Amino acid sequence: MTITELFGLLGYGMVIGVALAAPIGPINIEIIARGIRGGFVNGWLVGLGALSTDTVYAVLVVSGLTPLADSPRLRFPLFLAGGVMLSYVALKSLRAIRDTPAPSDHITPRRGRSYLTGVLIAAFSPMGIVYWVSVGAALVAEAVARVGSAGAPVLVGGVFLGLLAWVTSLSVLAQIARRFVTGRGMRWVTGISGVVILGFAAYFFIQAFQSIG
């Protein structure tokens, strides 16, 4: 593999990583909400937690475990677990509306909890799993076809960098927006994020029961 091929594949992976992260979903909603409530670090750690889970999925795809993860028998428990997890996050957010302080107030960041939230949302999100066992597997196959087996880890590394760039940028934007949000606005952000995530939970429950219909 030449240097040109190396950087070309790395850049290609970065584009794929951004494309994976950009659509509005539970992770992006949580990054924005936590970033506005608790600052850059809290939002960024949610994204880093999700990134950790995506990295595990990428390694599984490269290891050739895609057929196991794509088993129809796993769809019901995957969607059901995802719905339960997102329901918990959403209801916790909605219950916190009354206690949400203005961004200017002192907040002690619970960094470990932010990271764990990102890990769990991504781990129990069927959308992420489906992406990696379908699109991810195809990307790895393409990388191998282009430059041989050495291309797979390079492509995964590019995807990792793309995801990291996205969650960092989104957390920076949340930190900037935090300066302009009042206490009332913060409650709106908390409430809206809770409702949106609850909507994703409902979608997962519907998909779970449709998979056994």
Structure-model confidence comparison of residues 141 and 158, the more confident one: 158
Domain ranges of the chain: 26-210
Report which of 158, 162, 26 is spatially closest to residue 83, judged by C-alpha positions.
26
Which among 106-110, 129-133, 144-148, 166-170 has the top mean pLDDT? Answer: 166-170
Helix axis angle, 40-62 relative to 111-123, nearest 10°?
40
170, 19 in Cβ contact below 8 A? Answer: no
Percent of the chain with pLDDT over 70: 73
Asked if 174 and 91 touch (Cβ cutoff 8 Å), the reply is no
Confidence of residue 123 (pLDDT cuts 50, 70, 90): confident
pTM of the model: 0.72
Confidence of residue 83 (pLDDT cuts 50, 70, 90): confident
Of residues 134 and 12, more confidently modeled: 12
The one-letter amino acid at 84: V
Residue 106, pLDDT score: 46
Q: What are the tens digits of pLDDT across the range 196-210?
A: 878 878 887 887 888
Is residue 44 scored above 60 in pLDDT?
Answer: yes
Cβ density class 38-75: b for 16+ within 10 Å, e for less: bbbbbbbbbbbbbbebbbebbebbbeeebeebeeeeeb
Lowest-confidence region among 27-31, 108-112, 169-173: 108-112
